[in-house]
A and B are shown apart, each in its own frame.
Chain A
Amino acid sequence: DVKVTQSSRYLVKRTGEKVFLECVQDMDHENMFWYRQDPGLGLRLIYFSYDVKMKEKGDIPEGYSVSREKKERFSLILESASTNQTSMYLCASSRKSNSPLHFGNGTRLTVT
Chain B
Amino acid sequence: QKEVEQDPGPLSVPEGAIVSLNCTYSNSAFQYFMWYRQYSRKGPELLMYTYSSGNKEDGRFTAQVDKSSKYISLFIRDSQPSDSATYLCASSPMDSNYQLIWGAGTKLIIKP
Q: Are A43 and B102 in contact (CB under 8 A)?
A: yes
> CB of B59 within 8 A of chain A?
no
Q: Are A101 and B42 in contact (CB under 8 A)?
A: no
B96 touches which of A4, A41, A98 (Cβ 8 Å): A98
Q: Are A42 and B46 in contact (CB under 8 A)?
A: no
Do A90 and B46 contact each other (CB < 8 Å), given the known contacts A33-B97, A48-B98, A101-B97? no
When each residue 31-56 of chain B gets 1 if its CB lies under 8 Å from chain A and 0 otherwise, what string results?
Answer: 01000100001111110010000000
How far is A42 from B97 in the complex, measured between Cα atoms in Å? 15
Q: Report the count of interface residues on A (CB-CB < 8 A).
A: 26
When each residue 7-44 of chain B gets 1 if its CB lies under 8 Å from chain A and 0 otherwise, what string results?
Answer: 01000000000000000000000001000100001111
Q: Output the nearest chain A residue to B5 by Cβ-Cβ distance.
A: A42
A44 CB, nearest partner CB in chain B, Å: 8
Q: Are B43 and A56 in contact (CB under 8 A)?
A: no
Q: Are B45 and A42 in contact (CB under 8 A)?
A: no
Q: Output the nearest chain B residue to A38 by Cβ-Cβ distance.
A: B104
> CB of B88 within 8 A of chain A?
yes
Where the two chains meet, the residues of B that have a C-beta atom closer than 8 Å to any C-beta of A are 4, 6, 8, 32, 36, 41-46, 49, 88, 90, 95-98, 100, 102-105
Where the two chains meet, the residues of A that have a C-beta atom closer than 8 Å to any C-beta of B are 4, 31, 33, 39-45, 48, 50, 56, 90, 92, 94, 97-106
